[in-house]
């Protein structure tokens, strides 16, 4: 960030397209470096030729790079009008572009800048107040302060540097104190939860010959978890070889096991919903959902959550008329041509308490998780199938982004992933347990249902929206000055 800010400020004509191209180039490096695994995913599992995968991934990287480009363009314009003081607006401008990545088009807020702080736990505690966008703002503030010291020659640069050091110091000290006290760890109702990591290879997952073996594996792992005292057991995303409601044998076995053990099971599976034909001579059509079924101790289905944020190029192809060459990817995802997104978050009744779940990458949408907590979720869960990522950094990125939700909401997080990473995170972002990739594992942990609310769970992304308002106000002011 510091080199980008320095380059923008030193550009002779900040209003020209050169400033935008500087941001675009930075964005291309940023996203190509964090999303490189898309090519291997689309070629290995999507059936695309390498050239087609490179083009599809390149288009996504190019699209995401527009946001850093917009950051550089706006910062350059404001610097041209207001001088060095405009650099103080850099955190707001950057956060505004990250907010755009969440809401523009279908949204793809993967690897926001603030996620890089999730393992720096004292600083990451700030997310319990301002969320991941607030952490992004803090990082940009530090980087811009460094740029300010390099560029400015007035005494103001030292005031900016000292103020930044003080802010970071206060945040770090407060965060360390919060970690040491950890009051949430002693509150709430205990529950023993298990996450199952079946480790089913992606190319074996939809082979009809493997259906019985896959179901037998998960049922056996469930019994292992029950033997260790688990009362709430999570299966990964799309764990069942057939849709839960259509799989008579497998569904009956799951229900029977729940009744015998008096346990609650959360099962990732597809759901098929019939659509009545408009005319008698038309065939009945169906909608397909990526879903999670909560099976209660009496064997009934207590809730069904349908995935709301579908994966582009994974569960649907955006702009299919243009990106027709990416169609084979959809066929490799499941037996269905495309999924339909769910409409609302659904709470999951676990005994007398409420939990919530996020399927796969929708856990990177902070507002979605916050809505569940606002509605009464006392425990966060997420189920996923990260076999698509292979051994790339994507699985680790996904885990880190899920961990941020625990800090923001002040909730325990349980994560079941088909091939990993599975495990548990406490309300402060500390890893309680964590599995390696591509190993079969059953992990049981005592955690808690928590009812306390963090400041972030109450105010949401207020910092991000205020950043957008400040950026727009500054930009309009610069326009009037012009």
Q: What is the mean pLDDT of each run of 10 residues along the chain (482 residues)?
A: 94 78 96 93 77 88 96 93 92 97 88 97 98 98 96 90 97 98 96 97 84 96 98 97 90 96 97 70 76 97 94 63 51 54 94 97 95 97 92 95 98 97 98 97 98 97 97 86 56
Q: Are residues 150 and 257 part of one domain?
A: no
Catalytic residue among 360, 362, 408, 409: 360
Predicted pLDDT at 50: 84
Catalytic residue among 237, 315, 408, 409: 237
Predicted pLDDT at 482: 56
Enclosing domain of residue 121: 2-182+462-481
Q: Are residues 172 and 46 part of one domain?
A: yes
Predicted pLDDT at 12: 80
Q: Are residues 130 and 74 part of one domain?
A: yes
Q: Are residues 218 and 342 part of one domain?
A: yes
Predicted pLDDT at 41: 82
Question: If you search the block for the tokens 């259509």, which residue do you land on?
Answer: 246
Q: Is 237 a catalytic residue?
A: yes
Q: In 344-368, which positions are buried (b, 16+ CB within 10 angstroms) versus exposed (e)?
A: ebbbbebeebbbbbbbbbbbbbbeb
Predicted pLDDT at 185: 96
Q: What is the pTM of this model?
A: 0.92
Q: Are residues 222 and 207 part of one domain?
A: yes
Catalytic residue among 98, 296, 307, 408: 307
Q: Are residues 311 and 218 part of one domain?
A: yes
Q: Are residues 46 and 83 part of one domain?
A: yes
Q: Are residues 121 and 253 part of one domain?
A: no
431: region left, alpha or beta (phi > 0 left; psi from -120 to 50 alpha) = beta
Q: Are residues 410 and 389 part of one domain?
A: yes
Q: Would you say residue 457 lies in a domain?
A: no
**Structural domain total, the chain:** 2
Q: How far apart are CA 360 and CA 402, in angstroms?
A: 10
Q: Are residues 172 and 212 part of one domain?
A: no
Q: Is 360 a catalytic residue?
A: yes
Q: Is 283 a catalytic residue?
A: no
């Amino acid at each position: 960030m510091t080199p980008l800010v320095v380059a923008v400020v030193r550009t002779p004509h900040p209003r020209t397209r050169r400033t935008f191209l500087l941001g675009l180039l930075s964005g291309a490096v940023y996203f190509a470096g964090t999303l490189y695994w898309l090519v291997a995913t689309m070629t290995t599992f999507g059936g695309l030729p390498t050239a087609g995968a490179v083009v599809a991934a390149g288009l996504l990287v190019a699209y995401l790079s527009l946001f850093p480009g917009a950051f550089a363009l706006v910062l350059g314009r404001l610097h041209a009008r207001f001088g060095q003081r405009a650099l103080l607006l850099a955190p707001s401008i950057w956060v505004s572009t990250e907010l755009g990545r969440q809401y523009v088009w279908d949204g793809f807020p993967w690897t926001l800048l603030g996620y890089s702080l999730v393992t720096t736990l004292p600083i990451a505690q700030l997310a319990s107040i301002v969320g991941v966008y607030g952490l992004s703002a803090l990082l940009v503030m530090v980087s811009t302060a460094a740029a300010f010291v390099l560029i400015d020659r007035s005494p103001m640069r030292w005031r900016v540097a000292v103020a930044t050091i003080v802010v970071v110091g206060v945040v770090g000290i407060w965060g360390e104190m919060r970690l040491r006290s950890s009051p949430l760890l002693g509150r709430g109702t205990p529950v023993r939860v298990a996450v199952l990591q079946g480790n089913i290879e992606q190319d074996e997952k939809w082979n009809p010959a493997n259906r019985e073996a896959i179901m037998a594996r998960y049922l056996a792992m469930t019994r292992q978890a029950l033997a260790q005292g688990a009362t709430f057991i999570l299966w990964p995303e799309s764990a069942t070889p057939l849709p839960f409601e259509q799989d008579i044998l497998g569904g009956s076995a799951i229900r029977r096991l729940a009744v015998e053990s008096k346990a609650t099971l959360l099962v990732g599976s597809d759901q098929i919903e019939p659509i009545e034909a408009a005319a008698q001579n038309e065939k009945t059509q169906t909608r397909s959902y990526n879903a999670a079924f909560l099976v209660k101790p009496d064997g009934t289905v207590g809730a069904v959550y349908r995935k709301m944020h579908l994966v582009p190029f994974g569960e649907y192809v955006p702009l299919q008329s243009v990106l027709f060459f990416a169609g084979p990817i959809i066929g490799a995802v499941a037996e269905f041509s495309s999924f339909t997104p769910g409409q609302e978050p659904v709470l999951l009744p676990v005994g007398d308490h409420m939990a919530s779940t996020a399927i796969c990458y929708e856990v990177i949408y902070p507002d979605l998780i916050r809505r569940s907590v606002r509605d009464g979720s006392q425990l966060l869960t997420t189920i996923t199938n990260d076999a698509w990522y292979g051994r790339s950094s994507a699985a680790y990125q996904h885990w880190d982004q899920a961990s941020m939700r625990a800090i923001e909401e002040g909730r325990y997080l349980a994560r079941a992933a088909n091939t990993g990473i599975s495990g548990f995170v406490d309300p402060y972002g500390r890893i309680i347990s964590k599995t390696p990739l591509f190993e079969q594992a059953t992990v049981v942990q005592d955690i808690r249902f928590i009812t306390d609310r963090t400041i972030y769970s109450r105010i949401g992304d207020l910092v991000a929206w205020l950043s957008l308002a400040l950026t727009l106000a500054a930009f309009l002011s610069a326009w009037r000055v012009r």
